[in-house]
């Protein structure tokens, strides 16, 4: 808070302002510290944090990010956000747009794969446009029936945002409203990647949000081939698995497409829909239930073996990645294959288990 001396006509009024500022800062710090280190936060915790920060009168330590996205159907997260309603002051992160799009970044995405992790310059430009600072707590929320908000949590972590300050609201935006949460309803517009890149040039590619990309948990096709101990037989141009990849566990959280479209050899199927409550796609099941799901699939979450998560296009794997972490797994040996089946399944030289015709 800025306390301007000309606003106070006496030492007593100045003291009163100073005390108000101290009280507001206490609220500011309290709302942030209550979230610290929690990947999952309840509707009640979100409402409390919002109430504590809404009366500060200045910049908040919390940024609200709408990550609503559906992989099929007619619902469009950007359109719904722009039309409103939304949480006041929130922004929308469109994973299809804030991405290494093939049309904008052909050198990064020559195969034109969908919603690949964005280059750090685009992400930084988006954060500056949103007014998000590196020190902010990020609360990610979604609308009813969307499953994939964990992708945005993973994205913030990947870009170097303090993982202790990135949180998923457990429950939908509609539940926020039902619990008395405030909303804003006026239409708004979300800047597109092309506009952000143009703004970059105007600002000489200088950003307030400093990305420190954390790519240790992301792998590409070459990594996959190495992890799976695969060699290409040049004579027949057919890949062969030289030995069972005993040191690597491949988990695939897709739905029915795991069986209908094929999968990697040895992949274990754990559908993403099984990780959340049956009646609430935005609320993870209790930890003990998650552990039971992994155990039933033959996965020891505490194992030192490398775990590679691969799905259809790098989105639902983030739910699996987080579920493993919630069960106590150290993420140092867990990897996300960003290209996933969109890349692997369309490459004629990768081994696949295809459905029988």
Q: Which of 178, 202, 226 is the last residue of a domain?
A: 202
Residues 238 and 185 occupy one common structural domain = no
User: Cβ-count burial of 237 within 10 angstroms (0-12 exposed, 13-18 middle, 19+ buried)?
Assistant: exposed
Q: Which of 202, 237, 253 is the last residue of a domain?
A: 202
For residue 263, CA distances in Å to 72, 236, 251, 323 come to 20, 22, 10, 21
Tokens of 292: 């039971």
212 within a domain of the structure (yes/no): no
How many domains would you assign to the chain? Answer: 2
Nearest Cα residue to 250 out of 129, 335, 172, 315? 335
Tokens of 144: 């009813």
Residues 72 and 115 occupy one common structural domain = yes
Nearest Cα residue to 44 out of 119, 124, 139? 139
94 within a domain of the structure (yes/no): yes
Nearest Cα residue to 260 out of 137, 356, 121, 347? 356
Q: Secondary structure of 46-105 in the HEC alphabet?
A: HHHHHHHHHCCCCCCCEEEEECCCCCCCCCCHHHHHHHCCECCCCEECCCCCCCCCCCCC
Residue 167, helix vs strand vs coil = strand
Q: Which of 155, 172, 202 is the last residue of a domain?
A: 202
Residues 185 and 264 occupy one common structural domain = no
Angle at 125 between CA 64 and CA 339, to 5 degrees: 85
State the pLDDT at residue 56: 63
23 within a domain of the structure (yes/no): no
Residues 114 and 237 occupy one common structural domain = no
Q: Are 172 and 143 in contact (CB under 8 A)?
A: yes
Residues 87 and 174 occupy one common structural domain = yes
357 within a domain of the structure (yes/no): no
29 within a domain of the structure (yes/no): no
24 within a domain of the structure (yes/no): no
231 within a domain of the structure (yes/no): yes
State the pLDDT at residue 335: 96
Nearest Cα residue to 31 out of 53, 4, 7, 1? 53
Q: pTM score, two decimals?
A: 0.87
Residues 106 and 239 occupy one common structural domain = no
Q: What is the mean pLDDT of each run of 10 residues along the chain (357 residues)?
A: 28 37 45 85 97 70 97 95 98 98 97 96 96 97 97 98 98 98 98 93 84 89 84 43 65 95 95 97 98 97 94 97 97 96 96 88
Report the relative pairing of strands 91-92 and 62-66 from DSSP bridges.
parallel
Give the torsion through C-alpha atoms of 199, 204, 208, 211, to 10 deg: 100
Angle at 268 between CA 221 and CA 144, to 5 degrees: 90
Residues 240 and 117 occupy one common structural domain = no
Residues 186 and 279 occupy one common structural domain = no
Residues 52 and 192 occupy one common structural domain = yes
Which domain range does residue 290 map to? 218-344
Residues 46 and 189 occupy one common structural domain = yes
Nearby residues of 303 by Cβ (< 8 Å), 6 or more positions away: 249
The backbone torsions φ and ψ at residue 305, rounded to the nearest 5 degrees and listed phi first, read -65, 150
The residues pairing with 269 across neighbouring beta strands, listed in sequence order, are 252
27 within a domain of the structure (yes/no): no
State the pLDDT at residue 243: 46
State the pLDDT at residue 57: 54
CATH number of the domain that residue 245 is part of: 3.40.250.10
Residues 42 and 180 occupy one common structural domain = yes
Residues 82 and 147 occupy one common structural domain = yes
Nearest Cα residue to 197 out of 132, 133, 124, 134? 124
Q: Are 294 and 324 in contact (CB under 8 A)?
A: yes
């Amino acid at each position: 808070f800025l306390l301007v001396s000309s606003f106070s006509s006496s030492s007593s009024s100045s003291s009163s302002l100073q005390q108000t500022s101290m009280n507001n800062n206490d609220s500011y710090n309290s709302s942030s510290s209550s979230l610290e280190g929690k990947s999952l936060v309840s509707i009640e915790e979100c409402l409390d944090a919002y109430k504590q920060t809404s009366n500060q009168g200045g910049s908040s330590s919390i940024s609200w990010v709408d990550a609503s996205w559906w992989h099929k159907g007619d619902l469009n997260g950007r359109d719904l956000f722009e039309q409103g309603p939304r949480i006041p002051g929130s922004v929308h992160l469109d994973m299809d747009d804030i991405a290494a799009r093939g049309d904008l970044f052909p050198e990064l995405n020559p195969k034109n794969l969908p919603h690949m992790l964005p280059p750090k310059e685009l992400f930084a430009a988006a954060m500056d446009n949103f007014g998000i600072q590196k020190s902010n707590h990020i609360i990610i929320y979604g609308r009813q029936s969307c499953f994939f908000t964990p992708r945005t949590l993973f994205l913030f972590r990947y870009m170097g945002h303090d993982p202790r300050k990135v949180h998923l609201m457990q429950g939908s935006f509609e539940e926020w409203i039902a619990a008395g949460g405030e909303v804003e309803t006026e239409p708004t517009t979300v800047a597109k990647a092309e506009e952000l890149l143009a703004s970059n040039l105007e600002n000489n590619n200088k950003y307030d949000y400093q990305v420190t990309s954390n790519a240790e948990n992301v792998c590409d096709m070459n990594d996959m081939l190495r992890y799976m101990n695969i060699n290409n037989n040049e004579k027949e141009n057919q890949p062969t698995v030289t030995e069972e990849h005993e040191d690597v566990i491949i988990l695939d959280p897709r739905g029915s497409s795991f069986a209908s479209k094929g999968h990697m050899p040895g992949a274990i199927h754990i559908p993403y829909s099984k990780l959340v409550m049956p009646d609430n796609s935005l609320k993870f099941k209790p930890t003990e239930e998650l552990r039971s799901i992994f155990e039933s699939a033959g996965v020891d979450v505490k194992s030192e073996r490398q775990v590679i998560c691969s799905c259809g296009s790098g989105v639902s794997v983030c739910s699996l990645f987080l579920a493993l972490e919630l069960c106590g797994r150290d993420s140092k040996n867990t990897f996300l294959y960003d290209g996933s089946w969109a890349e692997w399944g369309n490459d004629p030289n990768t081994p696949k288990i295809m459905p029988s015709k």
